[in-house]
Each structure stands twice: as C-alpha cells, then as structure tokens.
Structure 1
C-alpha cells in the first residue's frame, strides 16, 4: 500500500513537472504594435474618433502628439521618435523634406480647411472684421511664425488692410486650439480659428468666414518620417485615414477631403 502511494505520488510529481515545463515554454504575449504620429492641433477631434476605431480594427496603438505644426516640425528636426507627420501647412513638411527627414515620394495632400473669425457671446455684437477695429478688445491669433492658422490669419489681415490697426490688440497662442480656448473663456473677445474648430462653439459665435482669396490655400499634407521602423503599421494607418469611413468623419468636422 505504501509502495503504491509512493508510485502514485511520483507519477503526480512527474506530471506536475511536465505541466510546469510546458507552461514555461509558452510564448510570451506579443507586444502590441504601435506608432507615433505628430499632428496639427486642429485635427484633434476627427483623429481621436478615427484612431479609436483604427486601434480596435487593426490592433495597432496610436500615440498622438498634437501641437502647432512649426513646433512639431522642430521636434522632428531635433530627433523626436515619430513615424508620421500631418501638418496644417505644406511649408513645414517641405522644410523637413528638404532636410532629408521625409521618406521619398510619401507626401500627400490630405485635407483642406477655411478660416473664420469668432467672437465671445458677452461682447457687443460684432458682425465683420471692420467691427473689431474701433473696439477695446483682445484679439487672439496663433503665433505667426510657427502656427499655420496664425500665418494664414496674418496674411488675411494684411490683405484686408487691417493688420496694422489690430496688431496692438493681439495676444498670440501656441496653437489654434489655444486661440479657441481664449475666446470661449472670454479671455479674448475675438480671434481667428479654422472652420473645423468652430463647429461646437458654446460661448462664442462665428462672425464671418474669411475669404480664401486673402491667404495661401490651406492644405494638410501627410508624410512618412524617414528612418521609421514601423513602415507596415504606418501604411495601414494611412490606408485607414483615407478610406470612405474616415472621409465622412473629416467632412463631419468641416474639413475638405483632398485625397
């Protein structure tokens, strides 16, 4: 009886060791694939919506780095680990391309946009650019060297011959979302943002759409960062944001689809 117990215990021990050995030989769970994309701040809402479904459908995590296009350009020049860049102006993409930082033949015009002037609800009604000139206001605008919306906005104000009259009233913002925030909070009485930023205003209203003839065409180019080791994942993402489902999301947010 004791011998039988010993044999049984030995057999059980052997089985246990075998099971533990098999468990140890199992492959570790695959590390989830991921990419990092640097994107103009004005694309925050539609891209958050698109990325949510992309991650679910493709199993690829997207790290989203938002900011002014000029700031993002500088980060890439300084070696930031980025796989894909979407700018709000072609100039920023061109500078990176000229420095050999963009993969050859990968630049594509993705989207277009328009500029609008918005004003806070608490103000005396403003109904045009001319209505801003004689009022004691703070006017918000993106930085005119690093923020495309600020660059385009300055071009328009100069073309409309009101830049010199408004310049002393201007407070500059790090990106177009900060302009929106200043006006929505009443910290600035008016400002220039993209039409896509103004679709869900809560405390402000659109004064007018700025004529497209007064500024350079607003184009959002997309380009792959040279040297990225995530080419397959990046290609998957580009295919996804240029499909019909993503087009509908961009259109919903008042962007013009160019691809």
Structure 2
C-alpha cells in the first residue's frame, strides 16, 4: 500500500510538471504598443500582473511598424496605436477584432530642445518660423510619411505655414523615442515629440506647445487582435479601470474612456 501511494504521488507530481508550463503560457499576453506608451504602460502592466496574475510581454515600436508586423501574422493579443490611421489599417487587413476597439488616450505634441539649450519659451502660432529657430541644426521627429508623431508634426507645421522652410532640416526617426534620443544626445537642436515623452527624458526640455487645432486630434485606440487569447478581455477592461487611469494621467496622457471598474 505504501508503495502504491508513493507511485501515485510521483505520478501526480509528474503530471503537474507537464501541465504547469501550459498554465503559465495561458497567463501571458503579448501587447504591441506605440513607442510613446512605454513608461506608462510598463507601470500599468506591472499593476495588472499584481491584480490578475497575467504577465504582459510588451513590444514597443512605431505604430506603423507594429501594424505591418500584425499584417505579416506576428503573434500578438493587443494592438495599441498612437493614431487611428494605423488601427484602421490593421482593421482593414482583418487582424483586429473591431468590436473590441476603443479610443483609450489622448496626448499633445510639443517642441523640445536639449536641456542646456538657450532656446526657451517659443510661441507656436501662425507664421511660426521653425527654420530660423533651428539655424544650422537639425530638427528631429518621427518619419512624417508613416510614424504618427511625424504625421501630426507635419500637419501642424503645414497649417501654421512653417513646413516648407523647415522641411529640409528634419531628421526623420523610426519612432518618437528615437527622435527624443536625438535631441537628448544633442544630435538635434530641436524636436517634435509627444508631451508625455518629453516629460520622461531629463535630457530635454519643452520649449513650446503646438495648438490643439493645428493638427488632427491625437488619439490612441486599442483593440484585441483576431487571434487574441481569452484572457485579453480582462486586460482591455483593466486598461479602462480607475487604477490604469491614475497611471496614465500621472504620465500626462488624457484618458478618453470612462472607468470600467
């Protein structure tokens, strides 16, 4: 009898060892998120792990790059874009569960300079001469053809009548964080990034804020992918919770949804 019990215990332990990796996998979600989300979303994801026991593996890049990766069948459960255009693109490619889509966050674009720059207190308005302000230096932002922050920046400068003179001075970066780094390292004299990015890098300072009506509204939509795991629904709910709202607002985002819990 003792031997039989021992064998049963060993069998149970072996079964548990075989099952546990599967259980661990079920409690992991992959999130594709705009580069500008990193600091805030890392904190939100840590809070969700504590609350729900689900680990979030976040991949950060320009929304354009992430949408194209999803199109190529990259495995992900959630897509969080920095603009509606790339969420629309992913939806058209049938990789997004459109019924789960919500406009989660808002943001602002700002003009930044290295922290030790003499440039300060720039009034950004009609006739704003960005080219003259930059002098012989470069201006960093995301690629204006694809990266959301670059698209917002170009739209604003065109409306303000500043694009034509300044366009040749731009250093187009692959993401907003790459543009931020160029300014922080003094490789660009000015940059146009999101306000939330500028606030997390001590190497830069905000010298001007673009008027909200100078560019399309900055909206961050989020949605589950068509291949999302069942646990994804709980995570999307948490992104709209009071706990997540507190974190997002701490980093300077505007929360566009009502708390779910």
User: Shared fold (TM-score greater than 0.5)?
Assistant: yes
2: CA distance between counterparts of 1:145 and 1:102?
23
Quote how far apart the aligned CAs of 1:126 are. Answer: 4.2
Which of residues 93, 99, 108 in structure 2 aligns to 1:99?
93
The 5 A counterparts of 1:105-254 are 105-128=99-122, 130=128, 132-134=130-132, 135-228=135-228, 230-231=229-230, 233-254=231-252
Task: Provide structure 2 residue ranges, at least 5 long, that are not aligned to the other structure.
Answer: none
Q: CA deviation at 1:99?
A: 2.3
In the alignment, structure 1 segments of 5+ residues that lack a partner are 1-13
Q: Choose which of 27, 49, 53 in structure 2 pairs with 1:59.
A: 53
Match of 2:44 in 1: 50
| Greater Cα offset, 160-169 or 79-88 | 160-169
Deviation of residue 52 (structure 1)?
0.8
Q: C-alpha displacement at 1:104, in angstroms? A: 3.5
The answer (yes or no) to whether the contact 1:70–1:145 under 8 Å persists in 2 is no
The DSSP-based 3-state class of the residue aligned with 2:200 is: coil
Structure 2 length normalisation: TM-score?
A: 0.88
CA drift at 1:113: 0.5
Corresponding residue number in structure 2 for 1:10: none
Structure-2 separation of matches of 1:200 and 1:90: 24
Q: Does 1:23 align with 2:10?
A: yes
Q: CA deviation at 1:123?
A: 3.0
Q: Distance in 1 between matches of 2:204 and 2:55?
A: 35
Higher gyration radius (CA): 1
1:86-114, CA deviations, whole angstroms, 9 ceiling, x for partnerless residues?
10000111112122221141110000000
Counterpart for residue 6 of structure 1: none
Q: Determine the C-alpha separation between the residues in 2 that align with 1:131 and 1:103.
A: 44
SS of the aligned residue for 2:28 comes to strand
> Which shows bigger deviation, 27-36 or 79-88?
27-36
Q: 1:221 to 1:94 in 2, by over 3 A?
A: same
SS in 1 for 2:16: coil
TM-score by length of 1: 0.89
Deviations 1:108-143 (A, max 9, x none): 000000000001134332432546422111100101
Measured after TM superposition, the shift of residue 17 of structure 1 is 5.7
Give the Cα separation in 2 of the matches to 1:122 and 1:59: 43
Contact 1:142 1:148 in 2 (8 A): yes
What's the counterpart of residue 34 of structure 1? 28
RMSD over aligned CA atoms reads 1.6
SS at match of 1:105: helix
Shift of 1:47: 0.6
Q: C-alpha distance in 2, partners of 1:107/1:131?
A: 39
Q: Distance in 2 between matches of 1:16 and 1:56?
A: 41
